Amino acid sequence: MRNWRFKEIVVMAALSVVFAVVYLAFLPAGKLLVGLFGPIGYDLIFGIWFIVSIIAAYIIRKPGAAFLSETIAAMVEVMIGNATGPMLLIAGMIQGIGAEAAFAATKWKNYATWVLMAAGVGSAITSFTYGYFMSGYAVLSTNYVIAMFITRMVSGALIAGLLGKALSDGLAQTGVLSSFALGKAHQKRNAA
């Protein structure tokens, strides 16, 4: 955390707060999909719950951004007083670790589209492993569990990875990120 500027921490926290609200807003949508398709319903849109990791890491580009932002978002969700309580905090940290692992694999140097998608998949893998033990997926039939897992990974890559990138790039175009890593990268590209 030493090389983090305080500005970056507060911006990361603000992003986490915004997405904590988004996460909560998507819970009823998830429940509706579960009602329609069974447990796999959540996995269809599970990527939305990883998105702040990808956005924060892509904008700030420092070790820990993916993990911390997801943890803070989960904490805010708990503080607002909805969702699944303290367990959610652990779930958030585990999702964050998955995304962080993908960025760590590139030594926090590469923020190409495929890395962002890999981060989404990373979150899907860790969160699914956690869900497998905590939510008792073990009682579901194996084929169904595999289908859930694949759906969640695709959702992570598309919703968290691609949508997260699109949102961040949109933000960079407005110029608010001019003092952050992503904004600087954009300026460099525009100047060239």
Residues in Cβ contact with 108 at an 8 Å cutoff, skipping those fewer than 6 apart: 61, 62, 63
Q: Which of residues 2-21 bind other proteins (CB under 8 A)?
A: 4-7, 9-18, 21
Q: Considering CB under 8 A, how many residues would be counted as binding other proteins? A: 52
- Candidate list 3, 107, 109, 136; residue touching other proteins; CB under 8 A: 136
Provide the minimum distance between the beta carbon of 76 and other proteins in the complex, in angstroms, as a whole number.
6
> How many CB atoms neighbour CB 134 within 10 A?
14
Provide the minimum distance between the beta carbon of 153 and other proteins in the complex, in angstroms, as a whole number.
20
- Does residue 36 bind other proteins (CB under 8 A)? no
Overall size of the chain counted in residues: 192
- Does residue 78 bind other proteins (CB under 8 A)? yes
Q: Which two tokens stand for residue 118?
A: 């890999």
Q: Which of residues 39-68 bind other proteins (CB under 8 A)?
A: 39, 68
Q: What are phi and psi of 61, to 5 degrees?
A: 55, 50
Q: Which of residues 160-179 bind other proteins (CB under 8 A)?
A: 167, 170-171, 174, 176-177, 179
At how many degrees (to 10) do helices 6-37 and 65-80 cross?
Answer: 60
Q: Which of residues 90-109 bind other proteins (CB under 8 A)?
A: 90
CB 53 within 8 A of CB 104: no
Provide the minimum distance between the beta carbon of 114 and other proteins in the complex, in angstroms, as a whole number.
24
- Does residue 140 bind other proteins (CB under 8 A)? yes
Separation between Cα atoms, residue 57 and residue 63, nearest integer Å: 8
- Closest to other proteins by CB, 57 or 68: 68
Q: What are phi and psi of 8, to 5 degrees?
A: -70, -35
State how far Cα 188 lies from the chain centre: 27
- Closest to other proteins by CB, 113 or 178: 178
Long-range contacts of 78-81 (CB under 8 A, 24+ apart): 80/20, 80/21, 80/24
Site residues (vs other proteins, CB under 8 A): 1, 4-7, 9-18, 21, 31, 34-35, 38-39, 68, 72, 75-76, 78-82, 84-87, 89-90, 133-136, 139-142, 144, 167, 170-171, 174, 176-177, 179
